[in-house]
Structure 1
Amino acid sequence: MGAKLNESASPATVRHRDDWAPRLAQLARLNRLEALLKQDAGGETAIAAAVERAVLLAALDRREEAKLAFIAILQKAPTHFSALNEFGTLLTEMGAIDAACRVYAEAILHHPQNPVGHVNFANLLLRASKYKEARRHYEAVLEIDPDHAPAHQGLGAVLADLGERDAAREHFRKGFRGRAISTLPYRGSAAPVRLVQLVSSGGGNIPTALFLDDTRFQTTVVVADHLEASEAPPPHDLIFNAIGDADLCEDALLAACHLTAAAEVPVINDPHAVMKTGRLANSEQLRTVPDVRTARTIVVDRSLLAGPGGADLLAGCGLTFPLLLRSPGYHTGRNFVLVQERGELAAAAAGLPGEALFAIEYLDARGPDGKARKYRVMMIGGRLYPLHLAISAHWKVHYFTSDMADKEDHRQEEARFLTDMPSVIGAKAMHALAGIRDTLGLDYAGVDFGLDSNGNLLPFEANATMVIAKPGPEPHWAYRHAAVERILAAVTEMMMAKAGATPLARAAGSAPSPSP
């Protein structure tokens, strides 16, 4: 087990000025490079200097200038590996994922034996859940270099997502051995809030990209379940436990509990509290919250459910059809099925990964129009913020597969939820949300839920792994932006306040006020 996180330095106070020493050093180096480039118009030395200059521009948060600089370099040297690779990195950071993929593909085409291009491209394929293509690139790297740590890390992530967790653990062991700590680039102009982010190697982590602003936070990522005793993170002001899935990340959460046991800085999302938010635990602990109806949930060996006596076993546990089966550790509807009748049970169980499955009571969350509704509310720093409402004709409701884009009346209903949540979901559900918030006891969490015909809250999921996703730029999503920005501002404000830094002003404008 790695060293405990016992940084005793006082919390940072952000200084809004431009004389921070590391930034001055970057600016000085940039000036020297620009002077050098004026003197030398060609050659490999000039290209290397130009690439370094473009990287520095990006590091100084001058990303559009950096983008133009890379384009200029590649016009002169279109196959230069460092220029292609660094440009791909910049495009990825800017969210231009398709363009980054094209640039990395070009780097691989001209430099097929360089493992870096393969790994960077595979990482983007993995983000898009293109597991087969990502796996091919990681394995190509390991043929070139069997000890290449980033390729082992990536291949482990692919296998973990595919349910091959024993094989994934072996690759994680090789990939993170002695490499469980990494510090991300910082682009601020003043002293940062130094943040340690605890993560799990096998997924189940809180998506933090939208609110971990790299001009405010200098983030050191610690893979908790692979931290060795010889490794210690740098001094820090705040710990963000981003390990969020209690069903998937038990080992990582236990490690995080050890790491934070004697921490002398604030900890966001105490791992002990996260460990109590698994689906089975929530079905029991949230049942006692007034105005909440939880689905009866049991864990059953998959082989038993796939056998001839599976339906009788469930009946003996009080479950009737239709019911839901789910593999632990998956989200966004993956490996999650509705079993309408007992004759479908064996095939459904056999088609899911994992040795054990959740068998879950089906609670009807359809409205008077026959459509299912799934509300998502974020719980940030003890306050409630509406994030979205998805309406669908299908029982499995996810925003990206719902009818929202095609139905103006659905969007109008969602807009009312975002601007006046209490009037839309009612007093009973608001009271239930406050009870769930208090029961979870997390700084950052969310709950997906429906409502029954009596206004009771039906929780589908309540934990820390909730994604805050920005809507697209299309005009029909304009009504959603204020609510999302308000939540992101609340997360940042909560983190800054925890670190003892200057709190941010709350988002202004027409965004709805959060509920207490």
Structure 2
Amino acid sequence: MTPSSQASPAASAQGHTPFYGLAPFLRMNLAAADIGPITQQMLEQAQQGGDDPNLLMNLATALFCLEKQDTGLAVQGLALALTRRYFLPALRQPACLRVLMLVAPGDISVNTPLDCLLEDCDIDIEYYYVALDGDPLPEPVPDHDLLVVGVGLFDASRAALEALEPRLAAWPRPVVNPPRGILNTARNTASDLLQGLDGVVMPPTRNIARADLLPAATGDSGLGAVLPGWDYPVILRPLGSHAGHDLEKIEDSGALVDYLVRVRDEQLFISPFVDYSGPDGLFRKFRIALVDGQPFASHMAVSSRWMVHYVNAQMYEDAAKREEEAAFMANFADFAARHRTALEAIPRRVGLDYVCIDCAEVAGGLLVFEVDHAMVVHAMDPVDMFPYKPETIFRARDAMRDYLVRRAAEALAAPSR
């Protein structure tokens, strides 16, 4: 399956292989299709001739989907040694807009998956992989109507984002999601920014050194001696943790000892745990996409566990949970009205045109877990199982498409300086 046909992503045209982006591989993954044979076919093609960057980048994406991170990064490095630019034509032609998307080297979690949201659209996307060391734009920048910064915030990308901020401040085309807003998505920074917002409940998140936690773990002092006013339970995770990796609830000093024995990272994020379970004991986590300040439902996951991920919440196995998600989406206008003040304030405070939040409803309003522009929003789940999703996601897609077109048109209409 490709963005423009039902052919295999391994199918090659004359000359260079088309670049496919993430969307077709993610669609295959969600359909439980076996990516292994396609990956093997691309690997064999790459071994026959290693000068096709599109083939190599497609292969890297497939390897990431197979959770072969190290091999995928190595193949991606080979592709980037040939070129940093990858063109993804719109499915619907002629395209109305050419977007330049700045992205970072890394796996499929480190950048805004814009092609997943804008599937079946009339916007061409040209990806430019920034350099994470030195000049972030070492190759010529292709012509474009509008620039989107899709680089996610992680340790290796911070310097590149900081270097891009002054450079893009005077960019001759509109810039969506400026680097300063992306820097605000750091867990501790976002926590500080959202404190005190009406209708927002976001526990403080602190960066703490492993060494500073040892006295609380060994019993030399309680947690309150390390973090005045704090008590168990708390949430711990390494600074660079994503997708729940080494994210745990710590109930007492014994659990803290066990965590520090197993997780050896020197720098951690710590935050108080807030019990957001409902009267039935289940936890409900919402993903909301905010496009130019307008909220759109992405999904709702229902789980018996506090650490909720859509893929492990049994949404695919449990029809009752899907019915609840369908009702949430059908009545999303009511949800958005209840939390209008918070949903309007969050993107303004963070400073992003497009951003997603993972959140829950609690007595004080929206309990915000994470604010990020690199979360995936898609309409790829099987329609027979999730018939209510496409129409809902298409609203977000159309809003994003219209926003990008409008920003580009406003720039063209503005008098030149």
Does the TM-score normalized on the shorter chain lie above 0.5? yes
CA-CA distance at 1:470 after TM superposition: 2.4
Contact 2:210 2:265 in 1 (8 A): yes
Q: For residues 182-221 of structure 1, what are the structure 2 equivalents within 5 Å?
A: 182-186=85-89, 189-190=93-94, 193-202=97-106, 204-212=110-118, 215-221=122-128
Contact 1:449 1:461 in 2 (8 A): yes
Q: For 2:403, what is the secondary structure of its paired residue?
A: helix
Which one-letter code corresponds to 1:289 in the other structure?
L
Which one-letter code corresponds to 1:125 in the other structure?
L
Contact 1:390 1:398 in 2 (8 A): yes
Q: Does 1:249 align with 2:152?
A: no
Q: For residues 268-347 of structure 1, what are the structure 2 equivalents within 5 Å?
A: 268-305=176-213, 309=217, 312=221, 314-316=223-225, 317=227, 318-347=229-258
Contact 2:23 2:116 in 1 (8 A): no
Contact 1:108 1:114 in 2 (8 A): no
Q: Match for residue 456 of structure 1?
A: 365
Q: Match for residue 77 of structure 2?
A: 152
Contact 1:192 1:218 in 2 (8 A): no
Identity %: 25
Cα deviation code 1:34-60 (max 9, x no counterpart): xxxxxxxxxxxxxxxxxxxxxxxx99x
CA-CA distance at 1:307 after TM superposition: 6.6
Q: Does 1:447 align with 2:335?
A: no
Q: Match for residue 438 of structure 1?
A: 348
Aligned with residue 128 of structure 1, among 66, 72, 91: 66
Q: For 1:263, what is the secondary structure of its paired residue?
A: coil
Contact 2:99 2:148 in 1 (8 A): yes
Q: Match for residue 315 of structure 2?
A: 404
Q: Match for residue 291 of structure 2?
A: 380
CA-CA distance at 1:304 after TM superposition: 4.0
Q: Match for residue 414 of structure 2?
A: none
Q: Does 1:467 align with 2:376?
A: yes
Contact 1:193 1:237 in 2 (8 A): yes
Cα deviation code 1:124-157 (max 9, x no counterpart): 122332336657xx4xxxxxxxxxxx55368xxx
Contact 2:217 2:257 in 1 (8 A): no
* Structure with the larger strand share: 2
CA-CA distance at 1:457 after TM superposition: 1.6
State the distance in 1 between where 2:375 and 2:136 align: 29
State the distance in 2 between where 1:357 and 1:221 align: 32
Q: Match for residue 400 of structure 2?
A: 491
CA-CA distance at 1:448 after TM superposition: 1.0
CA-CA distance at 1:435 after TM superposition: 2.2
Contact 1:422 1:430 in 2 (8 A): no
Q: Which moved more, 1:239-248 or 1:364-373?
A: 239-248
Which one-letter code corresponds to 1:240 in the other structure?
V
Contact 1:298 1:358 in 2 (8 A): yes
State the distance in 1 between where 2:23 and 2:298 align: 26
Q: Match for residue 415 of structure 2?
A: none
State the distance in 1 between where 2:21 and 2:231 align: 53
Q: For residues 78-93 of structure 1, what are the structure 2 equivalents within 5 Å?
A: 86=17, 93=24
Which one-letter code corresponds to 2:124 in the other structure?
F
Which one-letter code corresponds to 1:493 in the other structure?
D
Q: 1:114 to 1:450 in 2, by over 3 A?
A: same
CA-CA distance at 1:216 after TM superposition: 2.6
Contact 2:217 2:253 in 1 (8 A): no
CA-CA distance at 1:277 after TM superposition: 2.2
Computing the radius of gyration over CA atoms, which structure comes out larger, 1 or 2? Answer: 1
State the distance in 2 between where 1:456 and 1:195 align: 36
CA-CA distance at 1:255 after TM superposition: 2.3
Return 5+ residue gaps in structure 2 as ranges: 411-417
Which one-letter code corresponds to 2:77 in the other structure?
H
Q: For 1:250, what is the secondary structure of its paired residue?
A: helix
State the distance in 2 between where 1:410 and 1:468 align: 19
State the distance in 1 between where 2:154 and 2:69 align: 24
Contact 2:217 2:256 in 1 (8 A): no
* Structure with the larger helix share: 1
Q: 1:91 to 1:391 in 2, by over 3 A?
A: closer
Cα deviation code 1:27-80 (max 9, x no counterpart): xxxxxxxxxxxxxxxxxxxxxxxxxxxxxxx99x5x35x77x96xxxxxxxxxx
CA-CA distance at 1:385 after TM superposition: 1.0
State the distance in 1 between where 2:392 and 2:373 align: 19
Q: 1:195 to 1:369 in 2, by over 3 A?
A: same
Q: 1:281 to 1:153 in 2, by over 3 A?
A: farther
Q: For 1:288, what is the secondary structure of its paired residue?
A: coil
Q: Match for residue 47 of structure 1?
A: none
Q: For 2:249, what is the secondary structure of its paired residue?
A: strand
Cα deviation code 1:373-427 (max 9, x no counterpart): 1111110022111221111000101111113233333323222221222535772
Q: 1:202 to 1:351 in 2, by over 3 A?
A: farther
Please tell me the root mean square deviation across aligned C-alpha atoms, in Å. Answer: 3.7
State the distance in 2 between where 1:306 and 1:111 align: 49
Q: For 2:201, what is the secondary structure of its paired residue?
A: coil
Contact 2:19 2:87 in 1 (8 A): no
Contact 1:88 1:104 in 2 (8 A): no
CA-CA distance at 1:297 after TM superposition: 1.4
CA-CA distance at 1:270 after TM superposition: 1.5
Contact 2:21 2:115 in 1 (8 A): no
CA-CA distance at 1:232 after TM superposition: 2.4
Q: 1:88 to 1:261 in 2, by over 3 A?
A: closer
Aligned with residue 362 of structure 1, among 265, 273, 293: 273
Contact 1:243 1:252 in 2 (8 A): no
Q: Match for residue 36 of structure 1?
A: none
CA-CA distance at 1:113 after TM superposition: 6.3
State the distance in 1 between where 2:374 and 2:128 align: 17
Q: 1:309 to 1:431 in 2, by over 3 A?
A: same
